[in-house]
Amino acid sequence: MIEVLDVTRVYQMGLVEVQALRGVRCSIQQGEFVGIMGPSGSGKSTLLHILGLLDSPTSGTVTIDGTDVGLLKEQEKSEFRLNHLGYVFQDYALVPELSVRENVVLPAMARGAPPDTYLKESEEILRQVGLGHRIDHRQYELSGGEQQRVAIARALINRPGILFADEPCANLDSNTSRTILNLFRELNEKYGQTIIMVTHEEWHEEFMCRVLYMKDGLIDGEKACKMRENKN
Amino acid sequence: MPSQHFSVALFLAIRSIQRGNRFTFFLTVMIMGLVFVNLVFLPSIISGVVVNFNSQSINYNYGNLVIEPRENEVYISGVSEVKQKISQIPGISGSSPRFSAGATYHYHDNQLSGQITGFNPRYEQEVTLIHTKMKDGDFLAEGDTDSIVLGTSLAGNIDERLDQVDSLGGVTTGDSIDVTFSNGVRRTLRVKGIIESGVYSVDRTAFITLKEIESVYGLSDTATILLVKLDGDGQEDKYKRILMEYGIAERIRTYQEKGLGFVNDAIRSFEIINAISTMVSLVIAIVVIFIVIFINTINKRRQIGILKAIGINKNIIVYSYIIQVFIIASCGILLGLLFSSGLVLYLTYKPLMFPGGAVLPVVEAGSIIRSIMSLALVSLISGFIPSWKTANEPILDAIRGN
Ligand SMILES: Nc1ncnc2c1ncn2[C@@H]1O[C@H](COP(=O)(O)OP(=O)(O)OP(=O)(O)O)[C@@H](O)[C@H]1O
Ligand SMILES: [Mg+2]
C-alpha cells in the first residue's frame, strides 16, 4: 500500500520557483490499477517519479508498505527499486546489444538470482506478454509495441510489488496501445499486480480501476471506473 | 562489490563488444596497437644503439678493459711483465699492448694528420676483430716491417665524391705512403691492406707493428694502452677489481668508462626524444579512449538513466565500461606486440644504418612491461572518467535528456 502525505515538489529555475506539486495527498491499495490523468504540466510525471523513488519530494512523505522511503539513502533506493518496483517508460530503452531474453533477465541478474530460475521465469513472462516466439530476437527485429512488451517483461522479472508506467502507449498506435493495456489489465486482474499509470487518453480509463485527476500540482478529483464497478 | 555486479558488468561488456559497433572497436584496437608500437619502438632502437656501441667499443676499440699509464706517466713501461701477470688470470682470454701516437700521412699531394697505432698483430687478434675486416690486401703479420694497413676512410677513393670525409685520395694496397711521426721521424711505408670495419675511429686510423713504432720512438717494452679481453662481456667491474688484486698498479678502466662522455650525450638526447614521443602517444591513447567512451555514454545517456531507474546499480554500468576498455586495451596491446615483432623482424633483416654501423632493434622486457602498464593505466583512467560521469548523472536528467 502507498500512502502519500502532503507531498510538494518545487523546481528552482534560476530565480523562479516552479511548483510542480503543491501538497498531494492520496493512498493506493495493493492490487489496484490506478490511472493518473490531467493536462500537460499538471504534475503527473513528477508525482509518478516521486512514488517510484526516482525523485524526492520537497516536503511531505511517501510510505510504501510501511517504509518511509524518504529516509532511504541513494543506494538503498536503488536496491528498493530493483527488488520492489517495476518501470515502463514512454521510450523502451532496451539495451540494443542484448537479445529479448537477455534484456528481460538483466534486473534478475543484477539482483543475484540463480540463472536457472530467472531463465525459466523470463520464458514464462515473455509468454505472458505475448513474445514467447521472440525470445532470441534483437531489438531491431521488433516493432514498437513488441519492444514495449519486452520493457514490460523486464519490469516484471523481479516480481515487483508496484508497476509504474509513464505514458507507455504514447509512441504506439491505438491498436497496439490496446494490446498493451489489455496486458496491463490481465496482469492486474489475474495476478493482482498493482499498477500506477500516467496517461493522456480518455479511452484508457476503461482499463483501470480508479483514475486520479491532476490539475496545477494537486489532485483535483478521482473516479472509480465503470468496468471495475460493474464487476464488483 | 557484490559478485553479481561484476558478472552483470562483464556480461554487458562482452555483449557490447560482440554486438556493438565493430568498426569503432577495431579502429580503437588498431590505434591502441600503434600507440603500443610507438611506445616500444624508439626505446628498442636506443637499446640497439647502446648494444651496438658497446660491442663496437669491445670489438674494435677497447676490449673489455683498458690498462692505462700510471698517473703522471705517458707510457706503460715494462708492458710485457704486465701482460704476463694478466695472462695468468683465469677468465681473461687475451691482451694486446698498443702504442698510439699522432702522425701526418703524405700521399702524392695529399697530406692528412691523424693517429697511428702500433700493435702486435698476434696479440691484437686475441682481443679485437679488426683483422676480420680487411677490405683489401692482408692484415699485418708479426714480423712485418715497413708495412702499414690503412682504415678505408683514411685511404679514401680516387674519386673524391665517394669520400664522406677528407682522405688521402685513393690509396690502394701495394702503394707506398710517407708517415711523419710526432717526434719528426719520417718513414716510407708500404700499404699492406685496407680495413673497412664500419667503426669510424678504426677506419680513420692506420696500424703498424708495435716493433716498428717502438723503433721510431726509440723505445722498447712500452705501450700507451693495454687492451684486455674477457671470456664474456658484462663482468668488467669484477675483473677490474681482480686485476687490481693481482697487483696491476696502472689505471684500469672499463670500456663503458672509456666511452662514457660521447655515448651518454647521445643517449640522453635520444631519451628526451623518447620521452616526448611516449607522452604524445599516451595522450593519443587517452584522448581516443576518452572520446570513444564519452560518445558511447552520451549516446546511451537515456538508456543508462533507465537502467539505473529500474534498479541497476550505477557501479555495474561503470564496471561494464571499464571492462570494455580493458578488453580494447588488451587486444590493442596484443596487436601492438604483433606489430612490434613484425617491425623488429623486418629491421633485423633490413637494419637501420647509423654512423658507426647497422643498428638492430633490441626490445627489452622492461620496456615492454612499462608500455603495457602505462597503456593499461591510461586506458582505464580515460575509460573510467566519462563512464563515471554519465553513470552519476541524476536519473531524471538522463531520462529526460536535458
Ligand atoms: N526538471 C524540471 N525543472 C523545472 N521544472 C520542471 C522540471 N520537471 C518538471 N517541471 C515543471 O513541473 C511541472 C510539472 O511537470 P510534469 O512533467 O510533472 O508534468 P506532466 O503532467 O507530466 O506533463 P506532461 O503531460 O506534459 O508529461 C511543469 O510545469 C514542468 O514545467
Ligand atoms: Mg509527463
Please give the helix or strand (H or E) that residue A95 lies within, else none: none
Q: Which of A13, A45, A213 has the most ligand 1 atoms within 8 A of CB, as the residue to mutate?
A: A45
Predicted TM-score (pTM) above 0.90: no
Which atom of ligand 1 is least distant from the CA of A198? 22
The reported pLDDT for the residue numbered B3 is 83
3-state SS string for A136-148 = CCEHHHCCHHHHH
The whole-angstrom distance between residue B259's C-alpha and the CA centroid of its chain comes to: 14
φ and ψ of B95, to 5 deg: -150, 150
Nearest-atom index, ligand 1, CA of A13: 4
**Residue B148: closest CA among B156, B157, B139:** B139
The neighbour count for residue A86, using CB atoms within 10 Å, is: 28
Instruction: Give buried/exposed letters for B168-184 (b at 16+ CB in 10 A, else e).
Output: bbbbebebebebbbeee
Min distance A164 CA to chain B CA atoms (Å): 10
pLDDT at position B45 is 86
Interface of B with A (CB under 8 A): 2-5, 7-8, 11-12, 15-16, 18-20, 302-303, 305-314, 316, 395-396, 399
- Looking at residue A15, its amino acid is L
Contact by Cβ (8 Å): A207, A179: no
Least CB-CB distance to B303: which of A55, A85, A95? A95
pLDDT by residue, tens only, chain A of 232 residues = 899 999 999 999 889 999 999 999 999 999 999 999 999 999 999 999 999 999 999 999 999 999 999 999 999 999 999 999 999 988 888 999 999 999 999 999 999 999 999 999 999 999 988 999 999 999 999 999 999 999 999 999 999 999 999 999 998 899 989 999 999 999 999 999 999 999 989 899 889 989 999 999 999 999 887 555 444 4
Residue B369: count of CB within 10 angstroms of its CB:
10
> B-chain residues within 8 Å CB-CB of A95?
12, 15, 303, 307
Instruction: Give the integer Cα–Cα distance in Å for A78 and A69.
Output: 11
In contact, B36 and B337? CB cutoff 8 Å: yes
pLDDT tens readout for residues B281-297 = 899 989 999 999 999 99
Residue B269: the pLDDT is 86
Minimal Cβ distance to A82: which of B7, B19, B311: B311
Taking CA atoms only, the protein residue closest to ligand 1 atom 14 is: A43
Q: Packing angle between helix B22-56 and helix B314-349, nearest 10 degrees?
A: 40
Cα A90 to Cα A96, A99, B112, B343, B395: the distances in Å are 17, 20, 92, 54, 15
* CA dist., res. A59 & res. A73, Å (int): 16
pLDDT at A91: 86
Do A97 and B16 make contact, defined as CB atoms within 8 angstroms?
yes
Grid cell listed for B96 = 694486446
Instruction: Mention every residue, 6+ apart, whose C-beta is less than 8 A from residue B274.
Output: B42, B43, B46
The separation between CA B317 and the C-alpha centre of its own chain, rounded to angstroms, equals 46
- pLDDT tens figures, B99-155: 999 999 999 989 999 999 999 999 999 999 999 999 999 999 988 889 999 999 999
**Residue located nearest, by CA, to atom 19 of ligand 1:** A41
Please answer yes or no on whether A97 and B20 come within 8 Å at the CB atom: yes
Task: Tell how far the Cα of B319 is from the centroid of ligand 1, in angstroms.
Answer: 33
Index of the ligand 1 atom closest to the CA of residue A167:
27
A-chain residues within 8 Å CB-CB of B5?
A: 110
Nearest CA among A71, A130, A70, A77 for reference residue A100: A130
Query: Is the distance from CB of B69 to CB of B75 less than 8 angstroms?
Result: yes
Q: Which of B11, B311, B399 sits opposite A107 (nearest CB)?
A: B311
Say if CB B143 and CB B132 are below 8 A apart: no
Contacts of B312 in chain A (CB under 8 A): 82, 106-107, 110
Q: Please give the distance, rounded to the nearest whole angstrom, from the Cα atom of residue B317 to the centre of ligand 1.
A: 28
CB atoms within 10 A of CB B92: 20
For residue A231, what pLDDT is reported?
46
Beta-bridged to residue A165, according to DSSP, are A88, A197
Distance from CA of B3 to the nearest CA of A (A): 8
Q: Measure the CA–CA gap between A77 and A72, rounded to whole angstroms.
A: 6
Per-residue pLDDT tens over the stretch B224-233 = 999 999 998 8
Contact (CB<8Å) A111/B4? yes
> Which pLDDT does position A232 carry in this prediction?
44
Distance from the Cα of A98 to chain B's closest Cα (Å) equals: 7
Quick one: what percent of chain B has pLDDT higher than 90? Answer: 66
Band of the pLDDT at B372, cuts 50, 70, 90? very high
CATH number (domain holding residue A183) = 3.40.50.300
CB neighbours of residue A229 within 10 Å: 10
Q: Cβ contact (<8 Å) for B8 and A49?
A: no
Distances (CA, A) of B194 to B72, B111, B168: 36, 18, 13
Cα A179 to ligand 1 centroid, rounded to whole Å: 28
Over the Cα atoms of chain B, what is R_g?
32
> What is the distance in angstroms between the Cα of A96 and the nearest Cα belonging to chain B?
8
pLDDT at A230: 46
For residue B8, list chain A residues with Cβ-Cβ distance below 8 A.
Answer: 106, 109-110
Atom of ligand 1 nearest to the CA of A38: 21
According to the model, what pLDDT value does residue B260 have? 67
Q: How many domains does chain A have?
A: 1
pLDDT at position B228: 95
Question: What does the domain layout of chain B look like in residue ranges?
Answer: 3-57+262-400, 70-249
The helix (run of H) or strand (run of E) holding residue B138 is none
Closest residue in A to B396 (Cα) is A54
Q: Which ligand is nearest to the CA of A165?
A: 2
pLDDT tens for each residue of B294-314: 999 999 998 899 899 989 999
> 3-state SS of A147-183?
HHHHHHHHHHCCCCCEEEEECCCCCCCHHHHHHHHHH
Residue scoring higher pLDDT (B390 or B49): B390
pLDDT score, position B172 = 93
Instruction: Please tell me the distance from the alpha carbon of residue B92 to that of residue B103, in angstroms, as a whole number.
Output: 32
Instruction: Give the position of cell 499498477.
Output: A195
R_g of chain A computed on alpha carbons? 18
Q: Which residue of B has its CA nearest to A138?
A: B19
> What is the per-residue pLDDT for B33?
95
pLDDT digits (tens, 9 = 90+) for B58-91: 999 999 999 999 988 999 989 999 999 898 899 9
- Grid coordinates representing B189 are 711505408
Query: Which three cell numbers, joined as nine digits, stand for A80?
Result: 528498493
Domain interval for residue A164: 2-231
Tell if the CB–CB gap between B310 and A97 is shorter than 8 Å: no
For chains A and B, count residue pairs whose Cβ atoms are closer than 8 Å. 78
End-to-end Cα, chain A, rounded Å: 20
Residue of B25, B310, B318, B400 to mutate when probing chain A, most A C-beta within 10 A:
B310
Residue B255 burial (CB count, 10 A): 24
Nearest to A78 among B2, B8, B311 (CB): B311
What nine digits make up the cell of B376? 593499461
Residue B396 is nearest to which of A49, A78, A80, comparing CB atoms? A49
Q: Which ligand 1 atom is nearest residue A9's CA? A: 12
ipTM for the predicted complex: 0.89
Distance CA A133, CA B25 (A): 32
Chain position carrying cell 523513488:
A53
Report the first-to-last Cα separation within chain B, whole angstroms: 31
CA dihedral sign, ordered B22, B24, B28, B33? positive
Nearest to residue B4, comparing CAs of B315, B334, B382?
B315
Grid coordinates representing A40 are 500537460
